[in-house]
């Protein structure tokens, strides 16, 4: 009986069921397909307009890297050339967004709680290494956990390797029996990983990839004499030197 109770207490909480549905549009009256294509273009022109106003009215001159006189002397591309080249680049950008929009599968939602529970399970499994790690440091995790069981039960459970017998209170809907449950802190860590750390990592990778190809594209335009002579590198705001 004792072995059965220990097995039940150390069992992993069950993962929730889920059903997938197509994710709603960010703007209810404007499909995401079109928003993903023209959204970056709209954002570009809004930001460009802000910098244009700063340049025309000479705002924040103390933060300029170059004075307006220096920029005017070095600038070989006209505003029309800059506008033309930006439009060409954005037409290509919108075209690629449309192609990707047609080839990508629809965005689905409804699995978020399941994915968070998967990460909570991984957090629970990671705790099983704590007694071994503490043992390498000369700390008896079982003794420390036993001494803290009453005052700090959650910490005691973690030190014991994810042993939370007092959290097996959630009922299984099929037969009404008790099943293990996650600790609040485990769900908090899992939510932080799923909603903060993973998106932040993905965003960082995307920024690195985007900046890398933009850098080498920009460098290639300056190194290639034909592109340089055609002022195609004027697609960036600072224009040609």
- Across the strands, what pairs with 109? 21
Q: Is 62 helix (H, G, I), strand (E, B) or coil?
A: helix
H or E segment to which residue 179 belongs = strand 178-179
Domain map (residue ranges) of the chain: 2-12+23-235
Please name the residue ranges forming H helices in the chain: 2-10, 32-56, 68-74, 79-103, 112-127, 130-136, 141-147, 153-159, 184-192, 198-223, 225-229
pLDDT per residue over 197-210, tens digit each? 999 999 999 999 98
Its pTM stands at 0.75
Q: Which residues pair with 171 in a beta bridge?
A: 178
Among 78-82, 92-96, 128-132, the range scoring the smallest mean pLDDT is 78-82
Summarised one tens digit per residue, pLDDT across range 104-136 is 899 999 999 999 999 999 999 999 999 999 999
Residues 6+ away with beta carbon under 8 Å from 232 = 85, 221
Residue 13's Cα: distance from chain center in Å? 27
178, containing H or E segment: strand 178-179
Taking residue 91's Cβ as centre, other Cβ atoms within 10 Å add up to 11
């Amino acid at each position: 009986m004792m072995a059965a109770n220990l097995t039940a207490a150390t069992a992993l909480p069950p993962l929730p069921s889920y059903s997938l549905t197509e994710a709603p549009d960010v703007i209810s009256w404007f499909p995401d397909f079109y928003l993903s294509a023209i959204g970056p273009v709209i954002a570009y022109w809004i930001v460009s307009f802000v910098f244009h106003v700063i340049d025309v009215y000479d705002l924040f001159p103390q933060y300029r890297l170059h004075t307006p006189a220096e920029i005017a002397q070095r600038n070989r591309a006209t505003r029309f050339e800059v506008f033309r080249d930006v439009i060409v680049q954005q037409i290509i950008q919108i075209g690629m967004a449309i192609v990707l929009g047609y080839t990508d599968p629809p965005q689905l939602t409804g699995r978020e709680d399941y994915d968070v529970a998967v990460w909570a399970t991984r957090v629970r499994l990671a705790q099983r290494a704590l007694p071994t790690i503490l043992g390498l440091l000369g700390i008896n995790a079982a003794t420390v956990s036993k001494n803290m069981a009453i005052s700090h039960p959650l910490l005691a459970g973690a030190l014991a390797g994810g042993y939370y017998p007092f959290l097996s209170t959630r009922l299984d809907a099929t037969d009404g029996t008790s099943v293990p449950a996650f600790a609040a802190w485990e769900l908090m860590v899992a939510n932080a990983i799923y909603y903060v750390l993973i998106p932040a990592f993905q965003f960082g990778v995307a920024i690195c990839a985007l900046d890398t190809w933009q850098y080498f594209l920009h460098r290639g335009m300056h190194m290639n004499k034909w592109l340089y002579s055609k002022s195609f590198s004027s697609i960036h705001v600072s224009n040609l030197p």
